[in-house]
């Protein structure tokens, strides 16, 4: 999995966040997740053969050409999070796992 920051759009969002944060008296810039709000990145995933311990998934998994890549653009937002005490947290959306297994629709 490779991650590439979208420099132009993220830079514009970062600058807007900097200007907005100047109104937060007593808070240091980059001390909160909202300083990174609306920045974007692209995650590239590459299909690789299953490891020997994962071969049990082979019959139920979708067939893709090895080396085929999928790119997902993520945005940093404050959203619902059932695990957080406050009920929301700052994170990348859509969420992408480091290892993903895709199953056939049956």
Quote the pLDDT of residue 31.
85
DSSP letter for 61, please: B
Domain presence at residue 12: yes
Count of Cβ atoms closer than 10 Å to residue 10 Cβ: 17
Quote the pLDDT of residue 106.
60
Quote the pLDDT of residue 98.
83
28 alpha carbon, distance to own chain's centre = 25
- Is the separation of the CB atoms in 41 and 3 below 8 Å? yes
Domain presence at residue 32: yes
The range of the structural domain enclosing residue 29 comes to: 2-93
Local confidence pLDDT in tens for the 106 residues of the chain = 789 999 999 999 999 999 988 888 888 888 888 899 999 999 998 888 878 887 787 777 887 778 888 899 999 999 988 888 888 999 999 989 887 777 777 6
| Number of domain units in the chain | 1
- Is the separation of the CB atoms in 73 and 44 below 8 Å? no
Domain presence at residue 67: yes
What CA–CA distances, in Å, run from 97 to 16, 22, 28, 45?
A: 29, 35, 31, 10
């Amino acid at each position: 999995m490779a991650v590439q920051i979208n420099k132009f759009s993220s830079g514009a969002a970062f600058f807007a966040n900097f200007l907005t944060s100047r109104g937060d008296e007593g808070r240091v810039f980059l001390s909160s997740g909202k300083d990174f709000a609306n920045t974007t990145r692209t995650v590239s995933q590459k299909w690789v053969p299953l490891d020997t311990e994962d071969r049990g998934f082979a019959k139920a998994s979708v067939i893709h050409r090895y080396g085929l890549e999928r790119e997902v653009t993520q945005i940093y937002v404050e959203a619902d999070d059932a695990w957080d005490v406050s009920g929301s947290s700052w994170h990348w959306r859509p969420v992408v796992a480091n290892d993903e297994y895709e199953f056939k629709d049956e």
